[in-house]
Structure 1
């Protein structure tokens, strides 16, 4: 690990730091609740509701493809958010992305199906999914920079983990509410008729809460210093790709391995694989959703732990632990799922999320420490969006195709393992910059030495 260098952000009161932590975790929780809600519903409902004329198998693949389509628009959201975030600040961008995601999700809950309005139904569904993708592309970068750039000395990993744990909390909420609907409020046909819509409509209430909390947080101290000096970069994306394209690619590959693995559960694939009555397992919806929700708790704990551990042993070493665990547990996941026992399903998912958490909790601090202050929003947002495309965008679709072609989920495990090995290799090529100064005074230092073998 490289020598630890520190700068000292303005001292914040405990109340201010709690407000920052709450704002970042609430915002990302809401964003990812909305996002995972769609992914879960795609595996459970949308194939029949919006793509029924295509038939069961093709309809399912189209539903999962609609999950992936939004990823293609994440870079556009990242470009917009990065440009405006580096020029005008993190705070306003975060409020905008939250409103866009909430409105899109609520409208999906009101959307008629194919039986009511024909081909307009899947077209409108895809349009709203694209808006979700644009929102998600801009959300993450702003949230993690607000957390990391506000963090006290020596605690960037811990504070950067706050927006990261919003992801498993969002999965927990989405799976939990869907389980409540399928098991208690609207079981059976009622869920397909109207019950699936309720969780989407609840997003409106969550967005109002999140917006109020986020508006109470001060701007990032790093951006305030940049703005005070009038040092904002006019075209941050141009600078990013001209000077740091290889860094963006390598960092994106580290996220691709994590994201592909995560989308086995968050992308709705396991939910469909385990509940499909024509598949290999054929479990009931509600127990599977509860098992996924329970594994989200384990994922949350591992993600939170990884952030703190990375402050002690470095971001890169924490990644290495995570990749090793993920490579082992991916081959344990499907044999446990295939038993059809809900407790073994939960065990398989929980073991899998250990490695997934240890390749995710430190990511916010790791990415923030890779890029210079003046283009940091663009750097972390675009890298994250590209990694999502390379990893999770079509992971459920690819997994569905692999099982259809091979007749076994072993092929899916091999696919995830290959991406994990590629991500592991990319991680080894990147230097550990834990504790590097983040302020604009250290721009020259921040802009070099990120990759082994390149001039420092």
Structure 2
């Protein structure tokens, strides 16, 4: 878990040091672009490792009747609130730095300043104790290995075929629904809130500060609602809430919103931006 934080921090800070087309020319710009893709891939790997281990950790220490509520704080703080803080940082930088300086060096500031919260997370992780379930699992594994060595059996035969094989063998429908639903919800998070606002900004020539501020508001709302969604999971069950979010967030809302954004008059573009983000 700590290594995933280090990998995320290192790849994020490194992006702030990459050469760009605007400041370093075409040759260095292409090198920076390739390095950017590598850093983004490393960020994705580290985020996947961190979120999954955090979810497992909370699942092991949380009471079952409050599991949805406790897990919801991962989305509230680790996803939406983090995006809101990032949008706020961008809003402040864009308000203080000119457009030309932003292209030259201002865009590097959010990446480089991430070293402060990243270092704090690494220090906090060092103080985090392992869960009793994990310690019991390690103890059982050590006892099993010791018993096999005493019996002279060096080959440990896996009776279940491993956890992944067991999941795919006995939970095919759950894996399919969860995978497709997660991809759909992930696409909804990115398309309207990131690419959609960039489109309406370029299409209507809106100021970058308005876009960053709208993104901050747009992520603050789900940061609050995520906690209530977690409470709803404890009452209704994860399957019903996930299906409801999938239908509403990936089918009902995105298409009308994107259609409205592409046909809104320019005089109403900023208002449409904020309304769409809040909706």
* Both proteins in one fold, TM over 0.5: yes
Shift of 1:158: 0.6
Match of 2:273 among 345, 359, 383: 345
Whether the 8 Å contact between 2:192 and 2:258 is mirrored in structure 1 is: no
Matched, 1:334 2:262: no
Which stretches in structure 2 are left out of the alignment for 5+ residues?
146-157
1:154 maps to which of 65, 77, 90: 65
Is 1:177 the counterpart of 2:89 in the alignment?
yes
Cα distance between partner residues in 2 of 1:244 and 1:315:
15
CA distance in 1, matches of 2:116, 2:138: 34
Task: Specify the alignment match of 1:107 in structure 2.
Answer: 14
More helix by share: 2
Conserved 8 A contact 1:299-1:350: no
Normalising to structure 1: TM-score of the pair? Answer: 0.51
Q: How does 1:67-78 map to 2 (within 5 A)?
A: none
RMSD: 2.4
Shift of 1:217: 2.1
Structure-2 residue corresponding to 1:227: 138
Alignment correspondent of 2:184: 257
* Conservation of the 8 A alpha-carbon contact between 2:73 and 2:226: no
Instruction: From 304, 310, 313, give the equivalent of 2:233.
Output: 310
How far is the alpha carbon of 1:265 from its aligned partner?
4.3
Paired with 2:244 and 2:37, the residues of 1 have a C-alpha distance of 38
Matches within 5 A, 1:34-433: 94-114=1-21, 115-116=24-25, 117-165=28-76, 166-184=78-96, 186-230=97-141, 235-241=162-168, 244=171, 247-265=174-192, 268-276=194-202, 279=203, 281-326=204-249, 327-337=251-261, 338-339=264-265, 340-351=268-279
TM-score, normalised relative to structure 2: 0.82
Deviations 1:414-452 (A, max 9, x none): xxxxxxxxxxxxxxxxxxxxxxxxxxxxxxxxxxxxxxx
Distance 1:195 1:218 in 2: 39
Query: Does the aligned pair in 1 maintain the 2:19–2:29 contact within 8 Å?
Result: no
Residues paired across the two proteins, number: 253
Residues 332 and 348 in structure 1, CA contact (< 8 A), matched pair in contact too: no
CA offsets, 1:374-396, max 9 Å, x none? xxxxxxxxxxxxxxxxxxxxxxx
CA displacement at 1:333 relative to structure 2:
1.9
